[in-house]
Every structure is written in C-alpha cells, then in structure tokens.
Structure 1
C-alpha cells in the first residue's frame, strides 16, 4: 500500500491535499485503504476512475505520472509532430490537460493543446491531421460526474492497443516522485483552424443532397453543441433545435441521473422539445460527443433506436453513396449480425472485431466505410476512408440527418427503412442486459461460472455452441467473455465492461418475416428477448 503521507508530500492539488489531510486526521482507515490499497491500471482504455486523492483515484499526481510514462515511451519513437492534447468540460479536465503539456514539454517533447473543451473526435482527427506521434484526451465520456479519465491515441489516430499499453504502463511504474519531474511551459495552444479542418473533413463524408429535416438535439451538458451546430450549418442542414436545459457544458450533469444517452430518461427533454417543435428526429451526443443516439416518431409516441438499428441504417446509407469492392464494413462480435448480411448483399468486405474502436478501425483489409458498435459508436468513411479513426458522434449525427432527409423526400421514415431490411434479411433484434455491481469480483465470478458450467438451454432454446472468448474466436485476439449460440439463430455474449463496474450481456434473435406484418414479428422478437433476459439473469446468478 502506498504511504498516504508520501503521496501528500508530492500532491500539487489543494483540493485532494485537503481531502487526504481530513482522512488522515479522522483516522478513516477504510477510506484510506480504498484510495491507497490499489491503483488505477493503465490499459487499452487508458485511465478512468473517480476523482479524489490516492493512486486508486483520478488526480493530478496520477495524471503527472501517466504523462511522464507516456513521455518516456515516446522518446523511443522517431521524431514527429509532438503530442496533441484535448480535454472535455468535466471537473479537473483542463488542469489535467495542462499538467500533461507541462510534463511533455519538460521532457523535451512538443506539446500542443486544443484551444478549449472540444469533442473527443476532434482530438482523434487532429492526431493524424497534425502528423503527431500521439494524442491524449482527458475525458470520462459518459461516466458519472465524479469520474474523469485519460485516453491515449497513437500516431495512426486510433486508441492504443497491446503491447503498447503495457509498455506505457511499465514506463509509468518507473516514474518517481512527481514533484521532482522537470516541467516546461513552452507548449502551444492551437487555434480554431484545427476545428475548421475537422469540420471540412466530416462535412465531406457521403451525405447525399437531401437537407429538409428538422432535428431536436441535446449535447447532455457536454461539449458537442457548438461543433455540431457548425457542422450542420456547413453541410447545409437547418439548425437543430437545442434542449436549453442541457445546452451548456456542466460537469455536474444536473438534469440526468447518468450522462449516457443509452440510459432510460436521458433523452426525455429532447423528445419533449421534438414534440413541441414538430421535429422529424431526436439526436443526442454523450458529453464528449463521440457517441450518437437517435429517436424517431412512432405512432403517438417516440422510439429510441438501438445502436444496432442505427448501425444497419448507416451501413446501407454509405454503401449506396460509395462504390468499389474494396469497401469494408466492421462491427464487433457483440453487435448485430445484420451488417455481415448487408455486406454480402452489396458485394463488399466484412470483418468482425473485438469491442472498442481501437480494434474496429484496425480490423479487416480494405477501405473502411463504416465501423460501428452497438453502444452508439459510429465511424464513417468515404472515398479516402474515415477522417476520424475513432467513433465520432458529430459525423454520425450528420449522416443520420442526411439519411432521414432522404427518406423524408421519398415520403418514408427511418422506421420504414428498418422494415425494408427486416423483410430482406430477417428481423435482427438485439437487446442489452447490464448488471452494475459495487464489487467487481462478482462480475469475475459470474463469468467464470458461465464459462465452467454453461446452461443446456435458455428460454426454451437449446445452447448449440459455447465459445470461451479468452481462447480467441473468429481469428480475433483473446478477450474476457463467453458467447453462446442457441437454436433458431439466437446468440448471447457475456463480458465485463472495460470502463465501468458492470457485467454486460448482448442478446440477439433473428426471426424470418416472410409475408407477416413486420410489427407482429417485432412483437415476437421483443417477447423472445425478454424471455432470454430472464433466463440469462438466472443463469448468471446476479
């Protein structure tokens, strides 16, 4: 266990110093053990955790150490355009970004900081645009307000993967006291020209020429609003109606329980605004604007589309707007299998990937025109591939608006397009089952039980095959998880979340439509998914 007093002696932050001094004075051994009995692990997701004092929290000492480890690893790289650093509007984000710049400058590396809080995809774009050796984004994405994080990108503009993460982690472990690190002040603050370059790139995506669409938009108190509004204007779309209560960046996210557009209730204010203004669709970004959620009118109410439904629609959109047999569609092994059917139909390439865009953008061979994951992340490309080698909630919002405008011009809706796909390929219906726990050990135990003794059947469907993903599957690297195939084209994947204390399960059923009304088939699919959820929860024992 790290000595709290040694930590206190090198901590430059008065807030966490005061927190730690109070805990020491109170003799709160449980709180001290929680902060100092473990440390945040640096991995392929970088760092992410609760703000506070100690090595098991996000704070200035943790960030200074991470920056010093990154600097040490970068000194082994050929000289390039330095490191680009971005940050969102969360608590301490700007401070962590500037600390990173100071450490890199002190190590003799060129550090360039984005001009203000900006979306994560802007940072990812800038790494390649500026020919940087690496990038750092200070963000916790859609995590609760008390969290922050630290994502590292390499020179290809994508998040790091093994073994690079382990190499940086080892370099972090070798860092001594942070109050002895050489710090510099010769970093560069970039201008708005980098944002302009990003806007030029995303508005050059395949967007067609239909523009008549009314959008209600929420950035969920994050940093997406200004960039998205500029992108819509530049692409020729009408200005979206913005949810006033969620328009400005606010690190406390006061109007939502979790600032995640996947969470129930997160889109309620946007749907209310859409009803009031007669909008055609709702678009939401998460706080760092790398994800995009969509809701559409459905009879008297509104329906939030799943990430898989949006992914299927965007796949057909880009395939109809591009050409060439070298085109590539990529989605993860936990996402819908519909995209592989669309690739076969259009005569283009398809590749599966592990979860996470660090894998999606590196999977398969060919020209990536769409990479997506069911968790509302989309990466679109045109003739030259994707301008952002990561998920991009702004580019995805433009493409969804273009698709909705084209459907509207033809007298149709996004729901009509989904029905078309179901008639051609069968209804691919997916649903998540997530279990949030206080003790991560419960997650490990549940997955181990499933791996060791999988059920013979779930919800009346026989289990026909079990894949232990730690052994690798589909030619992919090993990952922690279990995949079950069931009779009738159903599938279940169970894995621990890489960023939150959650067990995440992904369910899919595929039902033929034939001449039946698609609405009736959807109702049967919902019932099947509900039954699978119940059976799986029982099998997991959580």
Structure 2
C-alpha cells in the first residue's frame, strides 16, 4: 500500500511521448486553443507526460476527460477518433445506419457535436442533430423516435468545468453494452487520430440531408410522453406551491420550465445567476446537485421568497437535487430519500386512483437504499436490483417491453439523484423527475405535511435508514494504477471486519460470487468491479471504482431503530474508509 501512495514524478520523457508531442506540434491543428496549449507546455515534461502518456479510455460511459491537447484529453481529435471507431462499428453491423446527436452547455460541446457529425457523414452515416443544447433524456428519446442505430451525447454530466465527455447509446436508447464497447474500442485503437479519421463537409452534408435538424415536433412528442407520467393531474392548481428552479447554467431550463407550466405550477422563479447556459459554471465550480454549494444560491432565493421547493438539475439535466421548506428552513434531501418518497407517492396514489398495474415493479441499483424494499412491500411492488449504472435499469425496461409488460414499471432510480418514470426513454430523466417531485410536494402540502414530515412518517413505520457515499480521488498518471492495486489487495486479503464490526457476508461482483459463512451462491448479474460487505445488524458497505472518474467510491447502507446510533455508526465507518484509502 505504501508503494501505491507514492506520487509519480517524471524527470525525463520517454522517447515515444516526445515523438507524439512533436507530432502534434507539427500537425496542422484546427483549434487555436490547442495550438496555444501545445506551445505553453513546451519543455514542461510533467505537463507533456500527463497529456500523452496514455489515451482516454472508452467504456460503457464513453469518453470523459479534461479538455485540452493530447491523446489523454478531450479535443476534436480524440472525439474524431472515437467517432471513427463508432462509424466503423456501425458500418460493420448495419446498412445505411442513422445516429442521433445531442450536446449540453459545456465548453466545446457544440464543436464536438459538429465534428462528430462530420466524421459520421464522412463514413456514409446519416445524422439527426439537435440544433441547440438539450437534456440527456432527449437524446435517448431521439434515438428511439427515429429508430437510430446509435446515439452520441456530448456531456460530462456534473463534472467540473474543465471536463467534457462523449457518451454512446445503442438502438434501444440505453448506453451501449459491454460487447459493443469492446468492438468499438478495438476500432478506436486501430484508428490514428490524425491520419485515419474521415470527415465530410458540414455545410454540404446539411444541404443534401445527410445531417438533419431535429425539429420542434420531436421535442413536443417527448413532452407529451413526460406529461403522461402525471400521477395526480391538476394538483398543482388545486394546491399551489412556490418553486425555485436552477438549471446550474446547463441544459434544463426550457424543458423543466415547460413541464412545470403544463402541470399548473406557475409560481416558479429561476435563480438568475444560474439561469443561462455557461460552460464555465461561474457560481458553482462543481455543478453537482448533490453538493450544497451548488444549491446555495437557490437556497438563498428560496429563503428570500419563502418557496416550498427548490429544484436543481445538473448541466445535462438527467439528475435533480432538491431542498424543501420544513419548519421555516430549507432542508436538502438525498437521492435515496427522494427516491423512496417517489415510490411511496406513486404507489399509494396509483393504488388510490385505481391505476396500479398487475404485478407492479420498481428497479434500483445495488448501491441504492434497501429502505425501498420495506416501502415496496407495503404496496405489493416487486423490487429488482441491477448493477450501478442507469443503463442496467434501461435494459430491464427493455426486457419488460419485449414481453409486453412495460406497463408494470413504476419507477427506476439510483442513489446519485437519477430517476425515471415511464418507458419512453432508457436513461434517467430530470425533466419528468422535476415534474413529479413538484407534484408530490403539492400533494403532501394538500394533506398538511412537508416531504420531511412524510419521510419521518416512513421512518417511524419501517425503521431508520441512512445511505451515504464517500469518494476518494486518485488523480494523475498513476491514479488508475493505484485504484486497481487497492481493489486487487482487497480481493487477495478479504476484510474480516470494518470499523470494529464483523463482516458476515462478502460479495465479489467480478467473480459473481457471494459468500455467507460456509455457503456460497452465484450472483445473477453481469460481472462488475464491485465488492460488497454485509455487516452484523443488516448494514452493508460497498466499494467500487467510479466508471467515469478517477475515484474509488464507498457506499454505506445502514439501518437501525435509533437515528443517533445509525449516525454514529456512519461516522465510524467513514473514518475507517478515510484511513484505509489514505485520504
């Protein structure tokens, strides 16, 4: 472990990195920002090494990285290389493939979307392109609406401003499968990012219809599907609430405002400093609705205007965080708490309204609160667990649809503030979630309670649950090596106890094995680099590397009858994790 903690420092550049840097310097670069950056890092070996020692890794979440020059950065050349790999894959599998493209408000997003379009048409592939920034779920919808063979979304979700990303979707509207990733990755590796990328002329392609603009009618079709997910239509007019909304300078403004207005939620104010698209995110360097600092301006405005509810969507508008007024103060709720409240609200209302389907089903990820199981049992709702990543929820919806059972699906959610109701898209959707959270807030207000009151009532009924996650960053050229070594060490020497609590079961999702005492069973989920530890008393700890960032995440799922005892236990576990991971 001591070796893992040592920081990498490179005094002399390897010859292959020198050559690659010089190749970039000598190439005709079409981005003045890259030209300037390459000149500025001349003779700065560590800066050169960080940009060229590897290439961005393409996975189920596509590409994600810091904007800048080099093979280990997001730029038009790494985007072009990835798109060429995707184009090769599509042309190997389909005749005359179609691809939908969307992008958010981040720096270079529009340029990357345009460049990806040029590469696709240069390879004979037709493109449906949104003309302006759009929420992530609208990309999933467009893929399904146009029956495309793939989709591309240019976004880095909630990462800091220096990041951007490139997500690829399959024909089902979900992020692509592991099998597709492997094949596309092979194509990317054999593609030189300068010499092998074919680009068509953008203006010519639009004139002849090879790049087609996604029109307003498609947005309207999406909005109609969102509106179909209402549980208590008209409650916003019957019991008005005041809402503060912030898109965090991202892509959610137009769609979220529209669905709120259509549901009768007209007392809505937008945080002015965070209203308009701005990839610099000047008021929240980490535009993550899980983080209080990102919501602080919204909380301030909520207090000023005595709002009932604050909604905050992340830059690509697939996740939403909230705060609610309770006893005169704005209280933030976690993704797990909101998901449990949504399940209780949807299930109870549909049962009351007579719209509950036969054999209702909800889906959650393995790191999401087990409180769901207790609440679902009240209404006879089946709970399915899937691996971390919303694409697995989307895939399960697809399985239901194939059997003609998509009507069973009530709700899918993950602890990281992602929710979906309805089967019209296959990714988390902060537009429909914002609508239903507002509706739920108004409904509970009509009953004389806040969402905090409703949550406390559930705790009194099924027990107290606390779910939390700690993230530990491993930046730099050796970050991934450190993370891999930690996970390997945990497998070689399994933990017998955590923070003084005995481990009573262990699950390794990479080997698909769960061990409890002397008994072992097979985990019926796809293999994944996840370790789960069951503790005495029903609590658990999960350790996994992030799929999109150089981080190891530790998830705590804790339960007990006494709130304070559970909170104290969390502090013990969090302290253990910080010491164990060297933070």
* TM-score (ref. length: structure 2): 0.87
Pairwise mapping of residues 135-284 of structure 1 onto structure 2 (< 5 A)?
A: 135-176=151-192, 178=194, 181-185=198-202, 186=205, 187-209=211-233, 210-211=235-236, 212-284=240-312
Deviation at 1:349, TM superposition (A): 2.5
Question: Partner residue of 1:515?
Answer: none
Question: Partner residue of 1:370?
Answer: 411
Deviation at 1:415, TM superposition (A): 1.4
2:372 is the alignment partner of 1:335: no
Distance 2:166 2:199 in 1: 21
Q: Deviations over 1:411-457 (max 9, x none)?
A: 11111221232233222211111222323333333333333334433
Question: Partner residue of 1:312?
Answer: 340
Question: Partner residue of 2:438?
Answer: 401
The answer on whether the counterparts of 1:328 and 1:370 sit within 8 Å (CA) in structure 2 is: yes
Q: What CA RMSD, in Å, does the superposition of the two structures yield over aligned residues?
A: 1.9
Distance 2:329 2:79 in 1: 46
The ranges of structure 1 where at least 4 consecutive aligned residues each deviate by more than 4 angstroms after the TM superposition are: none
Deviation at 1:275, TM superposition (A): 1.0
Pairwise mapping of residues 27-176 of structure 1 onto structure 2 (< 5 A)?
A: 27-79=43-95, 82-176=98-192
Deviation at 1:75, TM superposition (A): 1.3
2:398 is the alignment partner of 1:380: no
Deviation at 1:177, TM superposition (A): 5.0
Q: Deviations over 1:83-132 (max 9, x none)?
A: 11101111111010001111111111111110201111111111111211
Question: Partner residue of 1:475?
Answer: 524
Deviation at 1:77, TM superposition (A): 3.4
The answer on whether the counterparts of 1:51 and 1:59 sit within 8 Å (CA) in structure 2 is: yes
2:505 is the alignment partner of 1:465: yes
Aligned length: 528
The answer on whether the counterparts of 1:213 and 1:280 sit within 8 Å (CA) in structure 2 is: yes
Distance 1:164 1:436 in 2: 28
Q: Deviations over 1:513-532 (max 9, x none)?
A: xxxxxxxx333322221122
* TM-score (ref. length: structure 1): 0.93
SS at match of 1:76: helix
Distance 1:130 1:189 in 2: 12
The answer on whether the counterparts of 1:81 and 1:130 sit within 8 Å (CA) in structure 2 is: no
Q: Which moved more, 1:94-103 or 1:121-130?
A: 121-130
Alpha-carbon spacing, 1:264–1:176, altered in 2? closer, same or farther (3 Å): same
Deviation at 1:79, TM superposition (A): 4.5
Deviation at 1:508, TM superposition (A): 1.5
Distance 1:90 1:66 in 2: 19
Distance 1:201 1:81 in 2: 26
2:51 is the alignment partner of 1:14: no
Question: Partner residue of 2:387?
Answer: 354
Alpha-carbon spacing, 1:413–1:98, altered in 2? closer, same or farther (3 Å): same
Question: Partner residue of 1:526?
Answer: 567
The answer on whether the counterparts of 2:80 and 2:193 sit within 8 Å (CA) in structure 1 is: no
Deviation at 1:539, TM superposition (A): 3.5
Question: Partner residue of 2:5?
Answer: none
Q: Which moved more, 1:12-21 or 1:151-160?
A: 12-21
Deviation at 1:81, TM superposition (A): 6.8
Question: Partner residue of 2:517?
Answer: none
The answer on whether the counterparts of 1:491 and 1:509 sit within 8 Å (CA) in structure 2 is: yes
Q: Deviations over 1:205-245 (max 9, x none)?
A: 13313112221111111111111111111222224211111
Deviation at 1:256, TM superposition (A): 1.3
2:509 is the alignment partner of 1:449: no
Question: Partner residue of 1:4?
Answer: 21
Distance 1:133 1:267 in 2: 38
2:551 is the alignment partner of 1:492: no
Q: Which moved more, 1:366-375 or 1:435-444?
A: 435-444
The answer on whether the counterparts of 1:325 and 1:348 sit within 8 Å (CA) in structure 2 is: no
The answer on whether the counterparts of 2:148 and 2:171 sit within 8 Å (CA) in structure 1 is: yes
SS at match of 1:227: helix
Deviation at 1:325, TM superposition (A): 2.8
Q: Which moved more, 1:180-189 or 1:140-149?
A: 180-189
Give the unaligned 5+ runs of structure 1: 513-520
Q: Deviations over 1:111-165 (max 9, x none)?
A: 1110201111111111111211111000111111111100011110111121111
Give the unaligned 5+ runs of structure 2: 1-15, 206-210, 514-522
The answer on whether the counterparts of 2:65 and 2:165 sit within 8 Å (CA) in structure 1 is: yes
Q: Which moved more, 1:359-368 or 1:475-484?
A: 359-368
Deviation at 1:276, TM superposition (A): 1.1
SS at match of 1:253: coil
The answer on whether the counterparts of 2:90 and 2:97 sit within 8 Å (CA) in structure 1 is: no
Match of 2:480 among 415, 427, 440: 440
Q: Deviations over 1:360-410 (max 9, x none)?
A: 2223755332111101111112xxxx2221011111111101111110111
2:579 is the alignment partner of 1:535: no
Distance 1:411 1:354 in 2: 38
Match of 1:509 among 551, 558, 564: 558
The answer on whether the counterparts of 1:469 and 1:481 sit within 8 Å (CA) in structure 2 is: yes
